[in-house]
Each structure stands twice: as structure tokens, then as C-alpha cells.
Amino acid sequence: MTSLWGGRFEKSMDDIVKTFNASIGYDQRLYKNDIEGSIAHVTMLAEQGIVTVSEKDSIIDGLNGILQDIESGKIVFDVEDEDIHMGIESRLIARIGDVGKKLHTARSRNDQCQVDGRMYLKDEIREILNRLVHLESVILEKAEKYADKITVGFTHMQHAQPVTIGFHFMAYFQMFRRDIDRLLSAYERMDLCPLGACALAGTTLPTNRHTTAKLLGFSAPTENAMDSVSDRDYCLDFLSAASISMMHLSRWAEEFVWWNSQEFSYIEIDDSYCTGSSIMPQKKNPDMAELLRGKVGRVYGDLTQLLTVMKGTPLAYNKDFQEDKEGLFDAVDTWKASVEIFANMLEKTDFRMDMIEKQLDKGFLNATDIAEQLVKMNIPFREAHEIVGKMVKICENKGCILEDLTDDELQEIDLRITRDSMGDISIKACVDARTSFGGTAPTEVGRQIEAGKVFLDDCSSKIGDLTGNDIMLGR
């Protein structure tokens, strides 16, 4: 195949260089975006009188034919195509003749790959947002189911205070809520069309970049042509959001691994989300949780790789930037699959309350609540903290719980304290009393759940508005 850029060259590319240079092996997944961008571009060229309406129609017919052939498997790309842009344009010229050579008027691969990438990411962000919303809906369902079911709250991996399982779920709801907000914000920043920036400086031809931006569903064209072709911030925005969200998934996956162990036995994960051992017939391994915990490393690597590529690259376009795609595609695929897998695993996991309840009398979970009760008796908190610490020490020496201390033992610590003065210090009473805004009391968890439902309704509306920017190119 003859190169579309070889006019000043006397020698063809060495075979090893050709292979090393080519990106078609991975950027061919942008074929639909590339064709959509080309249709919008030639539509604008015709409106501006740069090509004729007849030429535009011939080019669009040719591009739609190529699209059909790609999707039917008739077209198979190889290293001779170099990249998806050349692969499509060379076939267009072969199909419709010299008129196909007019398509690349007033554009460059520099802006072409940018518009393809932004269109691709916008599509993928809408899909990931929908998956995150589904995950959040599963979290809300589970939080409602377990809103008043008490478990152990940990700090430093030690028993700390009693909390409800619904409360624990709503903590993760907030993490994924921030992921959604972060992704919506990234979408807004990338919703600018670079097409028409050309190589780096714009064009002398009378183009209208606002037209192509509108046709392709962007809010506006990018402001500066040099920045347009050299910017990869939108990729980094996405990769950063993906890395943070994968970290959230990994944290919860880690807890799933703990909870599934014999030492905890807090949960029962459905068989369909576990695997067995090739040698130990009794094993039921939480492999999906472990894989999710590990997958975050890939996405961190994708972010670090592109940050490293971009470091020290001068304006404007550099071939280094071709390295933006493989990591981006990997992060998209990994994040999408991870969110879906985790949501489904979560939906099919039940908590073993019988096992959890056995742990509630360990670790003096109600110690802080007793200290706060002493504060209500006008004892300064630091004094109360010391008093309860002494109570805990006695219990450790006796091998009992705080509720078992006698009035005599309490009076030895501080004359102001009796069993009656401490009030109800049962684990349930402690949980029910934590009604401060954002607290673990079932009533407060209920409020958080209702606020979460409002957020998800608002999210669905916002995502619907994004989807409403579907490309209208008259095909």
C-alpha cells in the first residue's frame, strides 16, 4: 500500500520501523469514531464551499460503506495501514477515487486522533457512569436490608465501635459518589472539539469549527490549536478518576477477603463468584475479590505510564503521544469490568449475622459510649477517657465485659460512677444513640439512604443529558 505522506521520501520505511511505528494493532477500535469525525468534517467542508455537495455525498457514501465492511468483518487491518486514520482514508481513496483525497483538507492526524480519542472516551464514560450508578443502587438495596444489623467497626484492624452494616455500606456509597462526580467533571472538561486545529496552527481555509463541534455532540471547539493537538489532560483526567475508583473497589475487595475467611466468617459469597482449588477439594476461594484487589495495579500503571510519557514533551505534537492509547484502553476495559463484577458479587453476597454477633462482646466496643455518658454527667472528657481506660483494664484482668463490672469495682475507680449512672450500655443502645449527622444509628442510616436515592435520581438525569448529545450526522 502506498503511503499517504511519502512525497518527500526517496526510501520506504524499513520493515522493523514500520512495525514499531504502527498503532493500527490497538487504535483500530476507534474506527467508528474516526468515520464519524470524517463525516462531520466533510459535511462542514461542503457547507463552507471548500468541497462540493456532490463530493461530500460521495465521500460520506464511501465512509459508510467502509463502516459496514469493518463491522461485517470484510476489512481486516494490518501493519501496512499504519494507523486507523490512514487505514480508513486509503480505503476511501481506493473505493471512490481522487475525490477521496479531498477528505483530509484542513485537518491533520494530530487533531484527528484527538477528536477520535475524546469521542471514544465520552462514550465510555457514559457507560462507566451507568455501571457506577448500578453499583450504587445495589449498595442502597443492601444498606436498607442491613440498616439496623450491627457489626464490628474497626480502626487499626482492631475492634473499635459498634456500627451497622448499612452504615458501612453507606461509607462506600460516598466513595463511589465521589467517583461519579469526578467522572462527570472530567467529561465536562473533555467536551471540547479539537477537530480543525490541524497540525498545530489552524488553517488558512474558511472552515467553521463550531459546525463540526455541534455535529459531533461537543459543547464547543477547543480554544487554542497548539494546545488542542498536544493536550492529553483529558486522558489523564480519566485515568486519575479510574485509579481512584479502582482503589475504592480494591479497599472493599480486601474487606471481602477478610470477611470470607474462616477467622471472620462474616459473609457468604455466592458460588458463582468464587473458585476452587486444583488440589484441595474443600476450598472455596474469593478469587473475584482478590482479582479486583489486584486489578488496581494495572490502572495505576496506566496512569503512571502516560504521566511519564507526557513529562518533558515540548509543544506541539510529538510521536510520544501515540503511547496514550494502549494504557487508556486497558484502563477503560479494566474499570468497566471491575465495577460490573463487583456490583454483581455484592448483590449475591449475604452477611452471616450469627457469626458476627459472636464478635460483638469482644474488644469493649461500648467503651467510647460509656466515656460520653460520663461527659453527660459533667465529667471532663479527658477524665472520662482515663476512667473508662481503668475499667477496661479491670475487665481484661478479670476476663469479663464492661457490663459485668460491679458498683464496688466502679467506685474503686471513681466515686461518681455506678452501674445506674452509666445508663444502658448495651451494644444496641450504643448504636441507636449515635444519631449525630452522618452517624451509625439506624435512623441516621435511613436518612443517608434516602439522600443517596435523591443523588442517584439526579445522576440518572445528568447521564441522560450526556447521552442526549448523540451524534446526528444525517446517516
d(CA 319, CA 440): 54
- 27 exposure class (CB count in 10 Å sphere: 0-12, 13-18, 19+): buried
Contact 256, 344 (CB under 8 A): no
Residue 350 sits at φ, ψ, to 5 deg, of -120, 150
For residues 454 and 53, what is the distance between their CA atoms, to the nearest angstrom? 49
Active-site residue identified among 72, 156, 278, 436: 156
What the block records as the C-alpha cell of 226 is 497548539
Q: What is the dihedral of CA 186, 189, 192, 196, to 10 degrees?
A: -100
In terms of DSSP bridges, do strands 158-164 and 192-193 run parallel, antiparallel, or are they unpaired? unpaired
| 472 backbone φψ class: left, alpha, beta (φ>0; ψ -120 to 50) | beta
* 199, three cell numbers: 497540525
Give DSSP secondary structure letters for 355-407. HHHTTTTSS-TTHHHHHHHHHHTT--HHHHHHHHHHHHHHHHHHT--GGG--H
Alpha helices in 78-164 (DSSP H): 84-96, 109-145
- 242 contacts 299 by C-beta, under 8 angstroms: yes
The torsion angle over the Cα atoms of residues 195, 200, 203 and 209, rounded to 10 degrees, is 20
Which stretch of DSSP H or E encloses residue 289? Answer: helix 287-310
- Exposure string of 226-236, with b = 16+ CB inside 10 Å and e = fewer, is eebbbbbebbb
The reply to whether 159 belongs to the active site is no
Q: Is 104 a catalytic residue?
A: no
Distance CA 234, CA 306 (A): 11
- CB of 164 within 8 A of CB of 152? no
Rounded to the nearest 10 degrees, the angle between the axes of helix 109-145 and helix 233-260 is 30
Task: Point out the catalytic residue in the list 12, 185, 261, 277.
Answer: 277
As annotated, the active-site residues are: 156, 277
